[in-house]
Amino acid sequence: MDFFDKVNQAGTVPVVVIDSAECAVPTAQALIRGGISFMEITLRTSCALEAIRLVKENVPEMTVGAGTVISEEQAQAAVAAGASFIVSPGFFPEVVDHCIKSNVPVIPGCVTPTEIISAINKGIKIVKFFPADVYGGIKTIKELSGVFRDIKFLPTGGINASNMAEYISEPSIIAVGGSWVCPSKMIAAHDYDGIELKAKEATDIIKTLKENAA
């Protein structure tokens, strides 16, 4: 299965902030138990690269990527740590070029037509749409997808269990992302059962939507 299909199948991409490396593996295992095998560990904390390495080595069922990648050096370090894909909150050509050169899937953040055109011209198929709620949510994505018909969106920012179905029902949205599945507070409290439940809730929503669409 290629990367595009994997994201499509995942439906939900948890945006995970790990403050302590020891939490990385149990968090990934909780997501797996809840039916989610795709996660983005953000490079917002000093232990993020270590967290990616630990998940890659210890939870083979998980496809782990790096998020909040804002420089070529970070992209390089994340791939070296084991990241299978790179997500950036914005469109930064050096990050995108590095990933293309290294043959690593990259999802750059694009919210304007100009940014989307930049992504298309690099051969990108999926863009992150962040912060989705602030930039007009589904309404904006629908307008953009009318013009950029081959681009799929991964919206994040303000998405949760109560509005994810609405987002996912839009055909140009390949999956939704966010921190609600795996909140930092739950990770810090080692509430892995709680994370499993949140993951299961998201998994069930995706499953129901797919069944209804079939």
**Contacts to ligand 3PG from residues 166-185, by CB under 6 A:** 177-180
From the list 63, 84, 88, 156, which residue makes contact with ligand 3PG (rule: CB under 6 A)?
A: 156
- Between CA 65 and CA 172 the distance in angstroms is 22
Catalytic site residue 56? Answer: no
Query: What Å distances lie between residue 180 and 8, 39, 170, 186, 202, CA to CA?
Result: 19, 13, 20, 10, 10
# residues contacting ligand 3PG (CB under 6 A): 11
Say if residue 131 is preceded by a cis peptide, omega within 30 of 0. Answer: yes
Q: Which is nearer to ligand 3PG, 105 or 157 (CB)?
A: 157
Task: Say whether residue 15 binds ligand 3PG (CB under 6 A).
Answer: yes
Q: Which is nearer to ligand 3PG, 35 or 177 (CB)?
A: 177
**Contacts to ligand 3PG from residues 120-139, by CB under 6 A:** 130
Catalytic site residue 201? Answer: no
Tell me the closest approach of the beta carbon of residue 60 to ligand 3PG, in angstroms: 25
Task: Say whether residue 158 binds ligand 3PG (CB under 6 A).
Answer: yes
Task: Say whether residue 157 binds ligand 3PG (CB under 6 A).
Answer: yes
Catalytic residue among 50, 72, 128, 166: 128
Task: Say whether residue 92 binds ligand 3PG (CB under 6 A).
Answer: no
Task: Say whether residue 90 binds ligand 3PG (CB under 6 A).
Answer: no
Catalytic residue among 40, 152, 196, 198: 40
Contacts of 179 (CB under 8 A, 6+ apart): 14, 15, 16, 17
Q: Which is nearer to ligand 3PG, 17 or 99 (CB)?
A: 17
Question: Mind telling me the catalytic residues?
Answer: 40, 128
Binding-site ranges for ligand 3PG (CB under 6 A) = 15, 67, 130, 156-159, 177-180
